[in-house]
Structure 1
């Protein structure tokens, strides 16, 4: 299952790792990275809009969807640094040395790392409904942290998280599709079934992706913070107003990383590219015009 009107590609991005990607449109390239527990299909509406005047590249992340799922033999296998390098390699294999990059949720964390590691490749950067990894762990505390229970579950050593989630994958992944959406109709039954199919087949790699954000990804972000590294390109962040609920200033957190920041709040739910695609496409077009 892919985005209507887009061509499916399978592209080698690293030794033993190929990504499944949908590509459509013509013009300046933009790469769109999906979130959890989704696949590249989450961009179907926004991608169709942008494809009118851009080349739009929508991969399944390493470990997700129909992309390869290497065993996590080291913490770096699913580090955001590794996954960011995948995105750059994908764009280059498709003929694009420089490109805009937008990510949602897990894909936004990959985009974050790509913006820091590959400033010569990423021209514009958008991140949807996350806070930087370092800040994420700092702002979650007390009973409010229950909303992110999966972060603590997947941070445990290999074994138990995979066994628990693998025992009831549809219930686990379906829980997030239900509670994080303000408009259930935005994810039709066929798309929901595809998300659940893909996620159930990827439990170990999805857990490894999350586990990296409780370990090696923190190390990488701390090193950049200490070195004074910041985003050199225009940045747009679109979020729900979690800051008000959890007691932090989201725009201030992002400003510390992004000198050229357009920070926006939305009334859509977490799956905003599906719930409010016109709003998200407009935010991305505004970014690309900067």
Structure 2
């Protein structure tokens, strides 16, 4: 049993091949379906404090994002960081698992895949939960000196290949630990087995390349797709729950709920204490709010 499997007692470990991505997936439970998507620089292990509780009343699916962790892009690697492409691959994965309609919960980069999924596949997405994310255009439009100093990796990792990959290869363990320490407010707040999985994944140059492709897409294709939808007035049909870091403002100082109301009609949410890695540092509150929200919108147990 791997360290990741030990963090998810009772979950089945599956490999699902969609033809363009070979997904590493954990799943457990019965009832309404919830897809959990992690962020940078983590793996599916990020959900180990949330997924088991949700699985008591729901069917829970926890994959590594394409290119992250143990999920591998197997065809047409160019443009693999596109959230539109990731979303389509994940919907195909869920179809193979027999799940045609489900709630999606996304944290960080996974949150960007999740809202793209809600825009592109409205018939499949019953509810959307966004954790520490607002849409990409508002992030770039609100970029400032403070944003650049705090989120420098948005700019560095979006540079053309191979510059960021070579820079990251110099001391990847130091870079990862420094990033997670800042996000979590201390490495001691992370489970040792989860941290070990993040380190093992980040040690792999192919994973680091996939992460750079993710951020390159965020500065190009993803922003273009979002701006086109915004100009066309496309909106998210599913109800939306938003959770964000207490004290954080986005898009030039705007409140997250105000930004999300520009993208969807049914939006609720609140700030939580715990920093950026809320699924690990505020897991109990995240669980409670997801379950209450899904119950309200009719996707509960």
Interval containing the TM-score (normalised by the shorter chain): over 0.9
Query: Which residues of 2 match residues 37-56 of structure 1 at below 5 A?
Result: 37-56=41-60
Out of 23, 42, 45, the position equivalent to 1:19 is 23
Where does residue 247 of structure 1 map in the other structure? 253
Out of 257, 278, 285, the position equivalent to 2:284 is 278
Distance in 2 of aligned mates of 1:237 and 1:14? 32
Distance in 2 of aligned mates of 1:232 and 1:144? 30
**Does the Cα contact within 8 Å between 1:26 and 1:51 map onto a contact in 2?**
yes
Q: How many residues align?
A: 288
**Does the Cα contact within 8 Å between 1:71 and 1:205 map onto a contact in 2?**
no
Query: Which residues of 2 match residues 137-216 of structure 1 at below 5 A?
Result: 137-182=140-185, 184-201=187-204, 202-216=207-221
Where does residue 124 of structure 1 map in the other structure? 127
After TM superposition, the score normalised by the length of structure 1 is 0.95
Distance in 2 of aligned mates of 1:42 and 1:95? 24
User: Considering only aligned residues, what root-mean-square deviation do their CA atoms show, in Å?
Assistant: 1.6
Per-residue CA deviation, residues 66-91 of structure 1 (Å, 9 max, x unaligned), is: 1114587533x220001111221111
Where does residue 217 of structure 1 map in the other structure? 222
Distance in 2 of aligned mates of 1:87 and 1:265? 28
Correspondence 1:28 to 2:55 = no
Out of 61, 66, 70, the position equivalent to 1:62 is 66
**Does the Cα contact within 8 Å between 1:72 and 1:205 map onto a contact in 2?**
no
**Does the Cα contact within 8 Å between 2:22 and 2:74 map onto a contact in 1?**
no
**Does the Cα contact within 8 Å between 2:35 and 2:104 map onto a contact in 1?**
yes
Distance in 2 of aligned mates of 1:53 and 1:287? 14
Give how far 1:245 is off: 11
Where does residue 267 of structure 1 map in the other structure? 273
Give how far 1:183 is off: 5.5
**Does the Cα contact within 8 Å between 2:25 and 2:61 map onto a contact in 1?**
yes
Distance in 1 of aligned mates of 2:24 and 2:208? 18
Distance in 1 of aligned mates of 2:289 and 2:215? 27
Where does residue 88 of structure 2 map in the other structure? 85
Distance in 2 of aligned mates of 1:181 and 1:215? 28
Per-residue CA deviation, residues 177-223 of structure 1 (Å, 9 max, x unaligned), is: 10111354331222212101112211111111111000000111011
Out of 224, 232, 239, the position equivalent to 1:227 is 232
Could you tell me which runs of 5 or more consecutive residues in structure 1 were left unpaired when the two chains were aligned. Answer: none
After TM superposition, the score normalised by the length of structure 2 is 0.92
